[in-house]
Amino acid sequence: GQNIDQPTEMTATEGAIVQINCTYQTSGFNGLFWYQQHAGEAPTFLSYNVLDGLEEKGRFSSFLSRSKGYSYLLLKELQMKDSASYLCAVRDGAGGSYIPTFGRGTSLIVHP
Amino acid sequence: EAQVTQNPRYLITVTGKKLTVTCSQNMNHEYMSWYRQDPGLGLRQIYYSMNVEVTDKGDVPEGYKVSRKEKRNFPLILESPSPNQTSLYFCASSSPGTSVNNEQFFGPGTRLTVL
């Protein structure tokens, strides 16, 4: 199985940049996802990394280093609506299941 | 519209009264899974299915059953619910493979309270 670690909570100021880290241990890495989840709602897909490097998508970017078992989600020009939980999920193909396992999530609070 | 639906959205029940939470997807996805979400514990996988008639245990399967008789449906069954199964439940589906198009689509969630 996987061991996925991310900070429990972070705070940031509107307009700033924040980086949310995720470290993982897995035997058959097969991709890493980031999801956003507002309170009481379903998670929604943000980004996917399977090769090393940076994937940019508007204000959000995600980075992966497979050798270090490390990823981060970078949010730029923070807006109040970015206050949410951010979930790191790792897909491990070693056991034959390609369904990701989730970390506990990072609660991001954006204040004015 | 491509979506995953769950019913009911909210349920309050009593210990020992069997219940079923339905999940249906219209995207022809092979993979479906059930998660529960509790404060401080994140999303934990209960059961998953990689195709019709193929199901397997996730990390927290005790007290739950599932079935996958049709591709679109993946009901979650609690034969004898207990208070520790009070939680927010999510169903999700995805297609097989390892590309970006294989992200999971989540249902809106079912908030279950067992008294």
pLDDT tens, position by position, for chain A (112 residues)?
568 999 999 999 999 999 999 999 988 888 999 999 999 899 999 999 999 999 998 999 999 999 999 999 999 999 999 999 999 999 887 766 678 889 999 999 999 9
The pLDDT assigned to B18 comes to 97
pLDDT per residue over B14-60, tens digit each?
999 999 999 999 999 999 999 999 988 889 999 999 999 999 999 99
- Predicted confidence at residue B97, as pLDDT, reads 67
Range picked from A27-31, B76-80, B95-99 for highest mean pLDDT: B76-80
Residue A103's CB is within 10 A of a number of other CB atoms, namely 22
Please give the structure tokens belonging to residue B84. Answer: 């520790």
A41 and B109 in contact by Cβ < 8 A? yes
User: Comparing C-alpha atoms, which of A84, A59, A83, A87 is closest to residue A71?
Assistant: A87
pLDDT band, very low/low/confident/very high, at B2 (cuts 50, 70, 90): confident
* pLDDT recorded at residue A71: 98
What is the number of other CB atoms lying within 10 angstroms of the CB of residue B73? 15
Task: Answer yes or no: are the C-beta atoms of B82 and B18 closer than 8 Å.
Answer: no
Alpha helices, DSSP H only, in chain A? none
**Going by C-beta distance under 8 Å and a sequence separation of 6 or more, which residues neighbour residue A56?**
none
In DSSP terms, A18 is beta-bridged to A75
Optimal mutation site among A99, A101, A104, interface B, most CBs of chain B within 10 A: A99
- Do residue A97 and residue B104 have CB atoms under 8 angstroms apart? no
CA dist A62 and A34 (Å) reads 8
Write down the residue that tokens 């979400």 correspond to.
B37
Query: Between A and B, how many residue pairs show a Cβ–Cβ distance under 8 A?
Result: 62
Q: Which of A1, A100, A105 sits opposite B42 (nearest CB)?
A: A105
- B90/A43 Cβ within 8 A: yes
Q: Of A39, A4, A68, A105, which is closest to residue B40 (Cα–Cα)?
A: A105
- Is the pLDDT at B98 greater than 70, yes or no? no
pLDDT score at A46: 95
Is the Cβ pair A44, B104 closer than 8 Å?
Answer: no
Q: Tokens for A6, please give them.
A: 């991310």
Residue B59: exposure state from Cβ atoms within 10 A (0-12, 13-18, ≥19): middle
pLDDT at residue B103 in the model: 85
**A99 contacts B43? CB cut-off 8 A:** no
Taking an 8 Å Cβ-Cβ cutoff, which residues of chain A contact chain B?
A: 1, 8, 30-31, 33, 40-45, 48, 50, 87, 89, 91, 93, 97-105
Residue labelled with tokens 């097989």:
B96
Mean per-residue pLDDT of chain B: 93
Four-point Cα dihedral B83, A4, A56, A111, nearest 10: 60
Sequence-ordered strand ranges (E) for chain A: 3-5, 9-13, 18-25, 29-37, 44-49, 53-57, 60-65, 70-75, 84-92, 101-102, 106-111
Q: Are B106 and A48 inside 8 Å of each other by CB?
A: no
- The CB density around residue A29, as the number of other CB atoms within 10 Å, is 18
Say what the pLDDT of residue A96 is. Answer: 64
